[in-house]
Structure 1
């Protein structure tokens, strides 16, 4: 399924474009333990009861971001509905820039999947399907070891999805878009999760908890006509905000970052 299908999508209302502070009750500052067991032994089920007072709540800041679509047309080939076509296409295909925002936009001071509260499982060697399956199951175990009452969502790109299917950790349903893990978790497969030019590789997969996405309407920004060049440029923009708890995230491999020269 797509990210915008797996998330709760809301229209932008009020003064949301400034961002907001929030927290997730299902992770951070939370512990589930067996009361009849010795806390010094193996009582913990979720979190760490011994360090609960020192554990901070999963607070984070949501920072909205914009994305821009620009189209340049030859004046002789331009159509009367070019501006509307660009606006409609950006609205209908917002999935890719929004999912890219989950990789590179900010949660607190870092990207969502690069946030310090995100746990990491080492990335397996390419082509080792058994190691990939182990990494996915280990990441899912970590998810349930630090959250309670949250539904995990597995995220991957279309190329890695084929590897994950061969490894037996996702089941594809292209007809209905209801891709799932063998445990029933929703799977988001998005082209926005491909590697980003200038950054280190994107993890082959990562888990998040529930996601809420706020989307603005499409705004027509500008129409620039260049008579000398016989060109016309159209530009439209949208804004989005991704709200998901970093402390509920687990990635397989390192977050994308700048590549050293």
Structure 2
């Protein structure tokens, strides 16, 4: 194995991650002799484990609850990562590829590919614009969702959270994006919107009356969760076919592979259509 051949997805829990199948399929098409594994890493152990990686390590995919830790560990971050305060992709010094302007070669640099994954997954479903959006949840993924909907033209967004005071950071993010963000509790009567993005962890159960109220006023539903599917909200949704997070997972992984291969999420892969098709087949079986 040569320098920069090792990659992994870190998180806690991690056994459910589909990233090894996605990345393995991409590397096979590209003819790359890279390995990609799952590693359970706690938030408390993240910094020490990262410091222990040697030059064989090209990069990391990072999932919950480590995106804030990865953000802090990054010596440079792309715009989407800076906006959201979350990094889900680390390019490490073992990857001898060009860095973006200003990014150091000998330190971890961070990217947020979740935002691009959401935008591309919505486009797959014909959702390329939405002026009014409801975001369910106020965690790290909600910030990525808010940036994504701003990129497709949203100018009004409502954040629904159990504790609306937790959404203050999203209100401030909205100000930076030019999106007017308001908050409301689950128990409210909800005004109709073009699109609802549910950014709650998979398996989250909302009281039935609250879930039904969201479903009755939500427009199309994009749920970042994909297991179990349908989610509770998707099972109640009356407005068009709900969209699961599998598309987001696919497209954000394509951007990760771009980063690991070239140092940039903007540079398409060789034979990218074939790569994406192989990754889709590995993920969805089609």
Of structures 1 and 2, the one scoring higher in RCO (CA 8 A, sep 6+) is: 1
TM-score by length of 1: 0.22
- For normalisation by structure 2, the TM-score amounts to 0.20
